[in-house]
Structure 1
Amino acid sequence: MTELVHLDVAAGVATITLDSPDNRNALSAQVRRELLAHLQTAIDDSGVRVIVLGHTGRVFCSGMDLKESRGAGAQNQGVNEIPAILERIWASPTPVVARVAGPARAGGVGLVAACDIAVAAEEATFAFSEVRVGVVPAVISVTVLPRLLPRAAHELFLTGETFDGPRAVRIGLINSAVPAVDLDAEVDRYVEMLRLGAPGALAATKEMLRRERPTALGAQFAEMQELSARHFAGEEGQEGMRAFAEKRRPSWAQAE
């Protein structure tokens, strides 16, 4: 069986590529299975500093494979695998960057939203098309709604309207929309910035960003003070301060 999702690791960057262009990179059972496995492999690799999720072909990801879903029971529609994939990206201690050169629809937008950083070509388009085929964007809402402005979420979830990269930036779905010729350079810019961060500090910062905030500020300050002190005194914090004093790059940011 030909692999439909590829994993390549070089210079501390794991590139995961959706490669099912004939199917518009739809989330078929095989794609879901391979994507989940490659994500876990990249996360488990201590040498991987950044994960980049990209694609071949014109389309980033068209969402669930509707041909497979017709007449299928819930257990055959990816209701277990899709949440697992989104959670694996969202909770990954390793930063994940989405490289979006073409359209993303439905579950494909969920993938984009789950990533820490998302960069798209200006002409890439997005849509929550679920209501137009009689379903609800329920699972992807878990990763999408924390990103979107509330008014835009209501509009776009309910209408299914298509929108472009610049609007995706304005409503918080992606970080940057650039001309297609500049897409790889913009992805590389984010990757290089992320590689300057200490792996443990990045993982802890991601965990902090995911936490629900206590209502009492005192409790929140106490928790954050303990987190800060632990990393100041930790190996990475001490190495970072030594490197700053010695005017050199810290060990984790040395050239590969």
Structure 2
Amino acid sequence: MPDEPLVRRHTERAIAVLTLDSPHNRNALSAALIAELTEALDSADADPEVRAVLLTHTGTTFCAGADLKADGVRGGPKLLVALIERIAALAKPVVARADGHVRAGGLGLLAACDIAVAGEAATFAFTEVRLGLAASVASIPVLARADPRAAARYLLTGETFGTAEAVRIGLVTAWDEALDGILAGLRAASPQGLAASKEISTALLRQRIAGTAAGLQEQSARLFASAEAAEGIRAALERRDPPWAC
């Protein structure tokens, strides 16, 4: 029996709907999920009938970030950089809808999307700092979208916050009740107009990718390889506090 897809696809009135469907690891950014998502984005970009992409999820988690249980987790930063770069380069807008938990690298995925909406059930946290890591790669799109002072607070503390705060600081565009109007607007726009407008709106993100991705990818790999991070990840998997928590 073939493996079930981690990313499900269908098209609904010119919108390519991509659904993260990896509940066993809370839609974590495994190499396999990133590969399937990239393939689906490429397919949508090449389809003349598709006007925009809607990225959504099954279950109670939009994306948990890196798959900490997977072999080769240290390769995750490079894969996430490539995914963020692909979303930014896509000629078609990508809209994210989160109605569940968004954690760590999942915030990078959310922020890379051109528009993001979230529901009442959504919660957000940069948990890396509590594991001996940093939101290195995730910070690339986050700091291109969100208020930098507010982002600094959450990058440094790992606090959990809700949709109202995510909207206030610019990490999320709007509550999910705005989704129908957003999709209607995208369906009414011309393909050429959307591509040109996206090129304008992603200029800062693309500059940040070009200027910071290599260094932040190296930082992330170095942190993942450290003894402190190994202990932090082990503590998280064992559901206990790390030794530095006080």
Map Cα deviations across residues 35-83 of structure 1 (whole Å, 9 max, x no partner).
11111111111110010000001111100100115xx473xx2232211
Map Cα deviations across residues 150-192 of structure 1 (whole Å, 9 max, x no partner).
2111111010110000000000001112xxxxx4x53222111
**Which of residues 29, 54, 58 is equivalent to 2:60?**
58
Q: CA deviation at 1:130?
A: 0.7
2-structure distance, mates of 1:156, 1:64: 18
Map Cα deviations across residues 215-252 of structure 1 (whole Å, 9 max, x no partner).
xxxxxxxxxxxxxxxxxxxxxxxxxxxxxxxxxxxxxx
Which amino acid in structure 1 is aligned with residue 150 of structure 2? A
Match of 2:28 in 1: 26
Q: CA deviation at 1:122?
A: 2.4
Verify the 8 A CA contact 1:118 1:176 in the aligned structure 2.
yes
Give the SS at the match of 2:138: helix
Give the SS at the match of 2:17: strand
RMSD: 1.4
1-structure distance, mates of 2:56, 2:73: 30
Does residue 207 of structure 1 match 2:199? yes
2-structure distance, mates of 1:21, 1:136: 25
Which amino acid in structure 2 is aligned with residue 109 of structure 1? L
Where relative contact order (Cα < 8 A, 6+ residues apart) is larger, the structure is: 2
2-structure distance, mates of 1:197, 1:81: 32
Give the SS at the match of 2:32: helix
**Which of residues 110, 128, 131 is equivalent to 2:129?**
131
Which runs of structure 1 show a deviation greater than 6 angstroms over 4 or more consecutive aligned residues? none
Q: Identify if the C-alpha distance between structure 1 residues 92 and 73 changes in structure 2 by more than 3 Å, giving closer, same or farther.
A: closer
1-structure distance, mates of 2:150, 2:42: 33
1-structure distance, mates of 2:184, 2:139: 30
Verify the 8 A CA contact 2:66 2:73 in the aligned structure 1.
no
Which amino acid in structure 2 is aligned with residue 18 of structure 1? L
Match of 2:15 in 1: 13
Verify the 8 A CA contact 2:17 2:53 in the aligned structure 1.
yes
2-structure distance, mates of 1:19, 1:118: 19
Map Cα deviations across residues 182-219 of structure 1 (whole Å, 9 max, x no partner).
x4x5322211111111110111111122336xxxxxxx
**Which of residues 35, 38, 56 is equivalent to 1:36?**
38
Does residue 164 of structure 1 match 2:156? no
Match of 1:140 in 2: 138
Give the SS at the match of 1:146: helix
Give the SS at the match of 1:83: helix
Match of 1:119 in 2: 117
Match of 2:184 in 1: 192
Give the SS at the match of 1:99: strand
Give the SS at the match of 2:42: helix
Give the SS at the match of 1:16: strand
Match of 1:78 in 2: 76
Counting aligned pairs with the same residue, the percent is 49
1-structure distance, mates of 2:12, 2:173: 24
Verify the 8 A CA contact 1:90 1:143 in the aligned structure 2.
no
- Number of paired residues? 202
Bigger radius of gyration among the two: 1
1-structure distance, mates of 2:108, 2:197: 22
Verify the 8 A CA contact 1:149 1:171 in the aligned structure 2.
yes
Verify the 8 A CA contact 2:67 2:73 in the aligned structure 1.
no
TM-score (norm 2): 0.78
Give the SS at the match of 1:7: strand
2-structure distance, mates of 1:105, 1:211: 25
TM-score (norm 1): 0.75
1-structure distance, mates of 2:78, 2:39: 14
